[in-house]
Structure formats: C-alpha cells, structure tokens
A and B are shown apart, each in its own frame.
Chain A
Amino acid sequence: MVRFSGVTKRYGDLTVLDNLDLDVAPQEKVAIIGPSGSGKTTVLRMLMTLERIDDGVIYVDGRPLTHMESNGGLVRANEKYLRSVRGDIGMVFQHFNLFPHMTVLRNCTEAPINVLGLPKAQAEERAVELLELVGLGDKLGEYPQRLSGGQKQRVAIARALAMRPKVMLFDEVTSALDPELVGEVLNAIRMLGKQFQLTMLMVTHQMGFAKEFADRVCFFYEGKIHEEGPPEQIFNAPERERTQQFLSAVLEAG
C-alpha cells in the first residue's frame, strides 16, 4: 500500500532519513518508535507531502506520490499532481490543528464539501456519523476552544476520516495530552482499526498501545530502521543493543 524506496531527507548537513526502504501492506498497522531526532515524524510528514523529498520515491497504492511520470522517467511532482494523489492519505497531528473559527461539525465537513464536492447535507451526515463514532455526537456545535485535548484529538480523527482515506497517519497524537485523556484517544484509534479497512502508520511513545495494536514495530535510529519486527519480538526480545537501550529507558520512565 505504501512503499518508501531509497528515501532520503536532509536539512542542510543533517541527514534526517537515510536511504529508507519501507513497505507497508494494505491494512497493516505499523508503529514507529525511536528516540527524538531519529526521523520518525519525518516519515509521516513526507508521506503527507508536508516535506519535500531529497532522494528516492514514495509509492502509494502503486502510484508514485512524490514524483510523476514524464517522458518515461520520474520527475518531482508539482502541486497539481500532489493534490491528485494526496486524497488517499489522512493525518492526525500532535497538536490537533483544528480550525478554531469553525464548529466541530464544520471542521469535519469543510474538506468533504470543498474537496470531494459532497452536498452539504451528505457531508454533514457523514461527519455526524463519524463524530458519534468517536463519542462526540453531542459536541457538533461547539468550537474547539471549549473542548478538552482528548476531545479535540477525537475531532481531528473524525475530520481526517471524513475524507475516506486509505492510509491514516498518526503523529504522536497523544503526546500533547494530559495523561488521563490519553486513553480516550487510543480507544478511538482502536475502534477505527476494527471498523475501517485502513492502513495505519503511527509514531508513538505509547509502548503498551504499540505492542497491543500494531502488526509491526519499526525502531528508528539515526534516520534508519534499526530494527523491525512483530511487537512481541521487538518488545520482548529485541536483538540490537540500541533497541534494548531505548526500550529499557522508555519503560523505566513508565
């Protein structure tokens, strides 16, 4: 479903992602863990086309995402092409990024109406359904400022889902939340995993959740996948020293 092929990203002299290869199967749930600065968030941001790629190609559903075909070769995608391929991907951000001047409902109907061209009534029906699913059916008319962090993040999830993406990206979605609100957001994600046929990539610090929810865990270190495998293997019997050090440090911190 998603394939990174030799993807490299640099900021000046700093190489954030170094020749990354990663294949994600349809409906696979991949947890990305690793120390800060290891390039894990960059993986999601490049897939969402928020960052330009310096080298390599990303494919989504077999189509090159970052590049387009031209004269038999691949050239860097322009904005128009990006708009045509971006629709398969949805993203939920660490800091929610809800539109503060719109109600919860409008946050979830804005893109379906303007991008997918849905009639207002149909977009609202879809939005209400999703908001009810994440437990916010009673907050339709509220503005984001009046919601708790957990509620905001659930709105953000519903907003992304309203576009019917095939791939969902979760970028440290619980990191900005008070500890007691983490559970409700994770529950919402669990529920999506069951209800929708989504491919998911999540950058997370919630090791317990990664262990239980993910099909595969990738440990990033210095811009590379240092170790990957099923959660039982990564969490119970990591082979490489860096992985062991990282996990013991994280688990110790609780």
Chain B
Amino acid sequence: MFWDWEYAFEVLPVLAGASIITIQATVLGFILALVLGLIFAIMRMSRNRAISGATTAVVEFIRSTPLLIQIFFIYFVLPEFGIVLDAFLAGTLALGIHYATYCSEVYRAGIEAIPRGQWEAATALNLSPTTTFRDIIIPQAIPPVVPALGNYLVALFKETPLLSAIAVLELMQTAKILGSQNFRYIEPITLVGGFFLIFSLIASAANRYAERRLSTIGKR
C-alpha cells in the first residue's frame, strides 16, 4: 500500500514531540526579531550618521544574504572565535536576527507614517527622545503594522525546517531521521507538511482577527 496508516500513527507522537521544538524556535526567534527589529529601526533613524549608517549596512547585509548561510555561520564559524552555541540556540538566534531586519523595515514604515505634528508637539512639550519614542511614537506606529509583523511570524515559522541543517531536532530533522530509520519517508514528511499547513492557517486567521480588531480600535 502506498500510504501506511499504521506507520503514520506510530510516528505521529514522535513528530508531535518534535513540533514543540519547532514552536519554541518560532516563538523565541520571533520575540528576538520583534525586539531587535525595533532597536534596528530606531538606530537607523538616529541623527548620528555613524550609528544610522552602520545600522543600515548591517541590516542590508543580513537581509541580502541567505538565512541558511547565517545559520551555518553562527553554528560552525563562531566557535572559531570562541563563541560556541548549541544547535537550537544558534538556529533560533539566526532566525531572530534575520527576521529582525525584515521587522525593522516594517517598524520604520510605521514610524515614518506618524505625522510631523506629533514630533513637533513632543518637542514643544520638551519630551526627551526616549519618552517621545516610548509614549508618543511607538504606541501609534505599531498597531497599524501588526498585520505585517504577523505575516513575518508565519514566514519565520515556515523557515524553521532550515534548522534541520544543523541537526536541531525540530520537525523536519525528526521526520528525516524517522524516514531513514524505517526507509519510509512519505508518511513523516507528509505529516510534517500537514502540521505546517494547519499552524500557518491558524496563525493567518489569528492575524486577520487582530487586523480587524485593530482597525476598529483605530476608529474610536
């Protein structure tokens, strides 16, 4: 028989366990991307040319090179410089940093959409740059870009199989191991695909819901 149900049910619990690693990598990587992305966005807007220039160069560099190479670099090359990370940490770090550069562009668009008058009012009230960002700019810049950030969450999630390249025991790697042990790939790989499909659909639905909620808040 082409599809072996018995085998599928046998590997399902193993894959379910591995999915926890995938979700952990996604969540931790995305949190890093959100925080670091905001830092990149603010540094790029710095009036200090050296800071904004250096940040722009770093962001463009990361954005323009493949994530897989960055994963390899962090895992295999950094140890040469004495920085040894375990595979999960290295992979999650690479995901987070890579997506931080995308998120920073999204934040930047949100920040640039804030009317000039808001900045001027903040200056007229003598608010410090920190207070201006924290209380005036960021709270207005982020809600409109939540859907765009949500899309990157789904995209990051779908790139976690790349971590199998450095043998992180996430879904893809686990499926590969199961396949090679039993000489049957179709069930584990299909199940992994199904798992990604279901979670992506759930995340997209949540994202659309958030988008609707935010647009109603905006009309308050």
Contacts and interface: CB of A to CB of B under 8 A. Distances in A.
Interface of A: 48-50, 79, 83, 86-87, 89-91, 93, 95-101, 110-111, 114-115, 143, 145-146, 159-160, 163
Contacts of B118: 97, 99
Contact of A97 (B121, B127, B129, B220): B121
Contact of A163 (B117, B125, B129, B136): B125
A48 B125 contact: no
Contact of B121 (A79, A86, A87, A99): A99
Interface of B: 115, 117-118, 120-121, 123-129, 131, 135-136, 139-140, 220
A83 B126 contact: yes
Contact of B117 (A83, A95, A111, A146): A95
Given A101-B140, A145-B220, A111 B120 contact: no
A111 B123 contact: no
Judged by DSSP, the binding face of B is: helix
A97 B131 contact: no
Nearest to A100: B140
B169 to A, nearest CB: 44
A160 to B, nearest CB: 7
A115 B126 contact: yes
Contacts, number: 62
21 contacts: A50-B123, A83-B126, A86-B126, A87-B126, A91-B124, A93-B117, A99-B121, A99-B136, A100-B140, A101-B139, A110-B131, A110-B136, A111-B125, A111-B126, A111-B127, A114-B127, A115-B125, A115-B131, A143-B220, A145-B220, A146-B220
B128 A97 contact: no
A48 B124 CA distance: 6
Given A99-B136, A143-B220, A145-B220, A110 B125 contact: yes
A160 B117 contact: no
A196 B190 CA distance: 76
7 tightest A-B CB contacts, nearest first: A111-B125, A97-B121, A97-B117, A91-B124, A114-B131, A86-B126, A115-B126
Given A100-B140, A143-B220, A115 B120 contact: no
Contacts of B139: 101
A114 B140 contact: no
A83 B121 contact: no
A73 B129 CA distance: 28
Nearest to B135: A110
Nearest to B118: A97
B120 A93 contact: yes
Nearest to A85: B126
Contacts of A159: 125
A171 B125 CA distance: 15
A98 B123 CA distance: 13
